[in-house]
Amino acid sequence: MPSGDLLQSMKKFVAKNGEVFIFRVPRQNDEKACLEFINELIDEGAPIALDRKITLREERMWLKRQIWEIREKRLIMLIAERPF
């Protein structure tokens, strides 16, 4: 099982254009940002597997499962974010 350090680790990346990104594993408190992102994709008609907006409860349950899968070494998932 991965140590807590792995689940808390972050990696800084600087793109060629100078933009800075942080790559990290997801955390449960990412649920609102992930919900907003996925629902924006749905609004835009992006070609993704979902065809309806999801609720915070659905996103919370999905994210909890993904984090469990990461801890069990069954899934690799990263979040890329731009620090402000």
How many Å apart are CA 34 and CA 46, to the nearest integer? Answer: 15
For residue 59, the SS3 value is helix
pLDDT at residue 2 tops 50: no
For residue 51, the SS3 value is coil
Given this model, what pLDDT does residue 10 score? 83
| Boundaries of domain holding 26 | 4-81
Domain count, the chain: 1
Dihedral sign of CA atoms 15, 77, 79, 43 in order? positive
Q: What is the pLDDT of residues 4-20, one digit of tens each?
A: 555 567 899 999 999 99
Q: What is the pLDDT of residues 40-64, one digit of tens each?
A: 999 999 999 999 999 999 999 999 9
pTM for this structure?
Answer: 0.78
| H or E element that contains 14 | strand 10-14
